[in-house]
Amino acid sequence: MMELLPQALTDGILLGGIYITIAIAFSLTYGVMHVIDFAVGEWIMFGAFTGYYLNKWTGLDPFIFLPVIFVIYFGVGYLVQPVIHRVLSGTKGNPFLMGLVFTFGLAIMFRGLALTAFGFYSNSIPSAFSEGSFNLESIGLTVTIPTVRLMGLAYAVAITLILHYLLKKTNFGLGVRALAQHKDAAGLMGVNAKRTGSYVYGIYVGISAMTGVLLGCILSIGAQMGNEYTIFAFFVVVLAGMGYLAGVPWAALLLGLVQSIFMIYFNPSHTLLAVFVILYIILLISPRGLFGKGV
Amino acid sequence: MKTSRGAAILAIITAALLILPLVVHDTFVLRVLTEGIMWIGLAIAFDVIAGYTGYLNFGHGAFFGIGAYTIGILMMQAHLPFWVALPLGGVAAALTALIAGIPTLRLKGAYFAIATWALSRAIQQLALNVEFTGGPDGMRLEAFLNPLFFYYLMLITVGVIFLVLWYLLERAPFGLKLKAIREDEEGAKALGLNPTMLKMQSFILSAIPTGILGGIYAYWITFIDPSSTLGDLVSDQAVVMVVFGGMGTLFGPALGAILIFAFKTIFWAYLSDFQLLYLIILGALIAISVIFIPNGLWGTLVKRKAVARPQQKPEPASEPAVLSAVAVPEEGN
């Protein structure tokens, strides 16, 4: 069984890459707007289907469409955010509670719309990268790396670096971080909370949709795929510490490794339960995530 | 005056519901009414933790499923009689709430919402993959074909749930403490309350009736499987009934449950593919309620009545404002 360990570790890292892409923009949104978006999985699902149909109609490789999909869904997110802003800014009842309920409602509605439009069947998005793989051999151990999964990891690294640059090296990023720290003080310093929130939400939806295309190439797409990715987004973000962006890559890799090892050495059908137990233990021991820097 | 009138209305409704089966002999109607009453109970139970305490339990359906499966396992494998197994369904739900609540109720509401939602999925996966639950094929219970029995059992159970919750949440100090946590948790702590303990009690109080109703449902329907009792729809419908009807009240969820269940029952009879449309409508209704009627139907109705009252009689110019200021906050919740 030990000969499977290198493959398990490799698969875990690749899976962690997927979780990075799922969770990192979500964590950004939570940090800035303090909204838990229950529709994160649905944005991913819509992006996947958009990529699927663009590929179907044009015959071009879906990776070519990533920028197009980002632009489309950035626009969608930009337009949706004012509604969420209104909910969060309401003076009636508990605004935070209402934000949770609102996004929960959006998720249900989106799932219904998708099931109506796309049906219950699963598909996958064909890509030129889907069939290739690399084989590494050393001292009798073999590790297989599917090309498309490697693309996923590369995408995760790219997104992480771009977000890091955006947040650390630009005026926009400075405004975002100020907003995350203290909304009113940032407003006094000239940061437009509403517009900045729109940009952040647009970025989040755009990245989520691009991630959907990626997942469509690596795994499969279906109208009910959203819930699974929403759960993983939540798990990674809680492990990382709510709103602590730097913790996301490490939490995602940890989750990917645990899940991968669990799938090989234990019962795959209990993976979700195992992940939930880990979440439970983390919340029990270190409620602010692995690094103790959650909000 | 207000209390006695409300009591009179409730008495009339109760009497009507008790007498109804003697007048209506259609089994289908009886089953529909039984399920409608069950949903009132589920919505009210959800509101204990969501509306009164301000912590959203998106895994509400898990407790319903736990109650159903507990009854199924105890009756079909341990061969316990129904009346012994039923309370244990509530106990199982309470224990699950206790365990799940320990790490999450100490933290902000976001953690609780995420954890409870994830919990319901984890439990569903467990039920799908464990042998003693029957896996994806579900479980079959002995058939007890007596629609009248289940109608009265459901009616009495929900009636008791309503009375107990009404007393605890609207008359006992417990309810005030929960509302204090909802409005300002830090302030409540400063006043000497223990928010974590109160939230835990509230969560368990929400779980017990849900588990019991799940148990009755299992015995009544005789078949349970992961998608029917542990699926999303129980939680989704509970959320929409409470948000639409009015969070933080008892009559709001009941009103929401009646309207939405009636809507579903009527349309499901006419539209073959209504299930998908129903999901869209559920989600849209939640989103629209949050934006336009944050207090829900009941909250809006009560508030409107309160505002209208001072204007009905002529008053000196200075007094109407005072009356409005006093009346609205009192009735608003």
- pLDDT of B309 strictly over 60: no
Contacts of A239 in chain B (CB under 8 A): none
In A34-146, which residue ranges form alpha helices assigned H by DSSP?
40-58, 66-89, 95-118
- pLDDT of B333 strictly over 70: no
- pLDDT of A179 strictly over 70: yes
A115, closest residue in chain B (CA to CA): B276
Contact B126 A116 (CB under 8 A): no
Percent of chain A at pLDDT > 90 equals 11
- pLDDT of A117 strictly over 90: no
Contacts of B114 in chain A (CB under 8 A): 36, 234, 238
Q: What are phi and psi of A6, to 5 degrees?
A: -60, -40
Contact B240 A113 (CB under 8 A): no
- Residue B325, classified by CB atoms within 10 Å of its CB into exposed (0-12), middle (13-18) or buried (19+), is exposed
Q: How confident is the model at residue B226 (pLDDT cuts 50, 70, 90)?
A: confident
Contact B118 A276 (CB under 8 A): yes
Cα dihedral B3, B9, B12, B18 in deg (nearest 10): -90
- Residue A158, classified by CB atoms within 10 Å of its CB into exposed (0-12), middle (13-18) or buried (19+), is exposed
Q: Which of A118-132, A137-151, B137-151, B159-173 has the highest mean pLDDT?
A: B159-173
The residue with greater pLDDT, B73 or A265, is B73
Contact B58 A106 (CB under 8 A): no
DSSP A250-279: HHHHHHHHHHHHHHHHS-GGGHHHHHHHHH
Q: Which of A24, A15, A19, A52 is nearest to A217 (CA)?
A: A52
Contacts of A98 in chain B (CB under 8 A): 290, 294
- Cα–Cα distance for residue pair B239/A198, rounded to 1 Å: 27
Determine the pLDDT at residue B67. Answer: 93
Which of B102, B240, B272, B276 should one mutate to test binding to chain A, selecting the residue with the greatest count of A CBs within 10 A? Answer: B276
- pLDDT of B314 strictly over 70: no
Q: How confident is the model at residue B144 (pLDDT cuts 50, 70, 90)?
A: confident
Tokens of B146: 């007596």
Contacts of A236 in chain B (CB under 8 A): none
- pLDDT tens sequence across B81-106: 888 889 999 999 999 999 888 888 87
- pLDDT of A295 strictly over 60: no
The residue with greater pLDDT, A192 or A134, is A192
CA atoms within 13 A on the CB side of A14: 22
Mean of pLDDT over chain A? 82
Contact B118 A231 (CB under 8 A): yes
Contact B58 A104 (CB under 8 A): yes
- pLDDT of B253 strictly over 80: yes
Contacts of B284 in chain A (CB under 8 A): 105, 109
A282, closest residue in chain B (CA to CA): B103
Mean pLDDT of B240-265: 87
Contacts of A284 in chain B (CB under 8 A): 102-103
Q: Which of B230, B207, B170, B221 is nearest to B31 (CA)?
A: B221
Percent of chain B at pLDDT > 90 equals 16
Percent of chain A at pLDDT > 70 equals 90
Contact A94 B182 (CB under 8 A): yes
Which of B119, B181, B290 should one mutate to test binding to chain A, selecting the residue with the greatest count of A CBs within 10 A? Answer: B290
Contacts of B54 in chain A (CB under 8 A): 94, 97
Contacts of B283 in chain A (CB under 8 A): 105-112
Determine the pLDDT at residue A92. Answer: 60
Q: How confident is the model at residue B243 (pLDDT cuts 50, 70, 90)?
A: confident
Size of interface A-B (CB pairs under 8 A): 136
β-bridge mates for residue B223, sequence order: B140
- Of A84-88, B17-21, B171-175, B326-330, the range with the lowest mean pLDDT is B326-330
DSSP B110-178: HHHHHHHHHHHHHHHHHHHH-GGGTGGG-EE------HHHHHHHHHHHHHHHHHHHHIIIIISHHHHHH
Contact B282 A108 (CB under 8 A): yes
Contact A112 B276 (CB under 8 A): yes
- pLDDT of B318 strictly over 50: no
Mean pLDDT of A207-215: 90
Determine the pLDDT at residue A43. Answer: 92
- pLDDT of B332 strictly over 60: no
> Closest to B287 (Cβ–Cβ): which among A106, A227, A280?
A106
- pLDDT of B272 strictly over 70: no
Contacts of B240 in chain A (CB under 8 A): 105
Determine the pLDDT at residue B188. Answer: 86
Q: How confident is the model at residue B60 (pLDDT cuts 50, 70, 90)?
A: very high
Find the angle CA(A93)-CA(A94)-CA(A95) to the nearest 5 degrees. Answer: 110
> Closest to A101 (Cβ–Cβ): which among B129, B182, B243?
B243
- Cα–Cα distance for residue pair B62/A1, rounded to 1 Å: 37
- Cα–Cα distance for residue pair B217/B35, rounded to 1 Å: 9
Q: How confident is the model at residue B136 (pLDDT cuts 50, 70, 90)?
A: confident
- pLDDT tens sequence across A85-94: 888 876 666 7
Mean of pLDDT over chain B? 82
Distance from CA of B19 to the nearest CA of A (A): 38
The number of helix segments (H) and strand segments (E) in chain A equals 11, 2
